[in-house]
Structure 1
């Protein structure tokens, strides 16, 4: 190979790289030969160390510190950006502030892929959807090529202790009617699709795409989980008031899921983007370690 023909591999910065979405994106990008710069507040965490072993550069970056963000993003060819209102000391306003600060620090980056939420651009009234849409609007005016992904409900949330506690008692509980399908996507598929966008920026620039890989009713979810967990499970519709007592934001989300629903075209995504390897819920569930005791 001559010096003239050598092309360095693109550098992709990944925000939230030690979390579910960011971690999935970082691992897929590494598998595909990209140089990954993992941005995290916890560069010494086990998740960060695991990314180093896989070949990522790990950079300490604080979404409340523009200096650390600018240093971590310097020279990056693309950015996988995400935001969250959940966590200690956070909320929708904090999410917007931190998300915009990340985007401002990324003005010199060649392409930004931002993961928002399905239907966040539809005036849902869900606080953490609306906050993501405010970040989307800022991104559109930034003057940097962008793509926005809107993931549906996360399959991975069903491995939380909230769900597991119910499964141990023989029930799968959500505040949803039994006949309302729920659009679902795994963190792995979010990362895989984001890597596809990074690899072909010209094809995806300026597009907003809601993504999901399956649609199931809650009784169907319970049936799948019964099979993979090896125990009979029944669906129980949880009163929305119980969710409201825990989080008004999540209650608003489930109210929207119930009344409007998420109309993501799963089959079109499978047809148009087969490289993602979209996971059906049963395929995803069979790969999880269900700690039911």
Structure 2
């Protein structure tokens, strides 16, 4: 039985990883800045040891990591900026190194090691490089685009009007993954540390074009959904970072060996986009208040 510290435990990736580890019988320290949140309470009910930790508070990290066997590390620039993401990720690696953890699994982004020029990919790659130099046994898992993003924000707003607004051509394929599959794969890596130490693995569950996504959403939502290509110029007015990401998706492509992952790690239970979409409660989602983001 492992004792695994999980950062971002009340978020999508950390929460999915915590749940997968708990289901496998391991001890989970769910690290969060908000231990009094409803999401933290949900983890407590599942058996997690919820602890306060703040990437900008070294003492809180030291206390949260002391005595743990391994760490699942997730960082984000959203809500702060890419410089903060790199600073916080570096601090987390340093704290784990000082705690002499046996394994760090860092979740980055698919292709972040390829010089994409996408700001939030580059910030993650800087953390990856620091991790590799730390001397602690490490693994980098690098998820593709998140299916879960389609259940909120401007994408969900568009679905209410029968439109899947996406800043890519109708026939350009790209790789996708839901948080539940990230968590299942991360738990697998943590449990089989010797097999995965020193490896960087891009992960995805499916590959679809925007047109195919719209078709799957039509079936899942129960109403016609049509893909509409959102101009990159419009995205750029909201976020130059996301615009750079979509430009990379369109020009270079986000290819991941989906078939190989399904063949080599069937126990993850990889979800196709169609299966994932069919499992969402679209009635509740579409009746929620629009974000107007």
> How many equivalent pairs are there?
283
3-state SS of paired residue (2:286): coil
1:170 has 2:162 as partner: yes
3-state SS of paired residue (2:171): coil
Relative to the length of structure 1, the TM-score reads 0.96
3-state SS of paired residue (2:234): helix
1:247 has 2:232 as partner: no
Residues 80-139 of structure 1: per-residue CA shift (max 9 Å, x gap):
00100001xx11000000000011110111100000000000000000000000000000
Residues 184-241 of structure 1: per-residue CA shift (max 9 Å, x gap):
0010000000000011000000000000010000010000001110000111000111
Question: What residue is the counterpart of 1:223 in the other structure?
Answer: 215
Question: What residue is the counterpart of 1:180 in the other structure?
Answer: 172
Distance in 2, Cα, partners of 1:278 & 1:167: 25
Question: What residue is the counterpart of 2:95 in the other structure?
Answer: 105
In structure 1, the gaps of 5 or more residues are 1-8
Match of 2:286 among 256, 278, 292: 292
1:121 has 2:118 as partner: no
Shift of 1:156: 0.4
Question: What residue is the counterpart of 2:229 in the other structure?
Answer: 237
Q: CA RMSD in A?
A: 0.6
Distance in 1, Cα, partners of 2:281 & 2:10: 19
Question: What residue is the counterpart of 2:124 in the other structure?
Answer: 132
Residues 136-162 of structure 1: per-residue CA shift (max 9 Å, x gap):
000000000000001000000001131
Distance in 1, Cα, partners of 2:280 & 2:77: 26
Match of 1:95 among 69, 77, 85: 85
Match of 2:275 among 261, 280, 283: 283
Question: What residue is the counterpart of 1:36 in the other structure?
Answer: 28
